[in-house]
Copies of this chain bind each other. A is one copy, B any other.
Amino acid sequence: MLIGELAEKAGTSTRTLRYYEQHGLVRADRDANGYRQYDDAELRVVHEIRSLLAAGFGLDDIRPFVACLRAGNDLGHVCPDSVEVLRRKLAEVDSYIGQLTDLRQRLRAQLNEAVEESLCQTMTCQP
């Protein structure tokens, strides 16, 4: 399978596939031409990458998952290194949710303050 075909099957671009390869995620043999020749299994790998990227992982985080697939596992997240990344990401997400929740509180407070302020102007209340 050439790069254009894989790109289409994976729903991405050739540029992207080369980028992944440059970062050690996707592998390709080379034809005598120098053209990249992809194994069928790489489609699965690319899907895994796209899925994890969409979830907010970075390319470096994704490497263990790909390695896990290459090691013969059906799922990329069942290996110790992947689990470690999952744990770390979960902690990050938790922390982030916490921060956003705090921020949300402050935004609501400011909105309320602004609304009361404008009520005071129209209805002459005593703050």
Instruction: List B contacts of A53 (CB < 8 A).
Output: none
Task: Count copies of this chain in the complex.
Answer: 2
A1 contacts partner chain B, Cβ-Cβ < 8 Å? no
A83 to B116, CA, bound (A): 12
Tell me if A's interface is mostly helix, strand, loop or mixed: helix
A111 within 8 A of B: yes
Interface residues of A (CB under 8 A from B): 55-56, 75, 77-79, 82-83, 86-87, 89-90, 93-94, 96-97, 100-101, 103-104, 106-108, 110-111, 113-115, 117-118
Extra A-B contacts (8), CB below 8 Å, given A87-B111, A90-B107: A55-B103, A55-B107, A79-B114, A82-B114, A83-B114, A86-B111, A93-B103, A97-B100
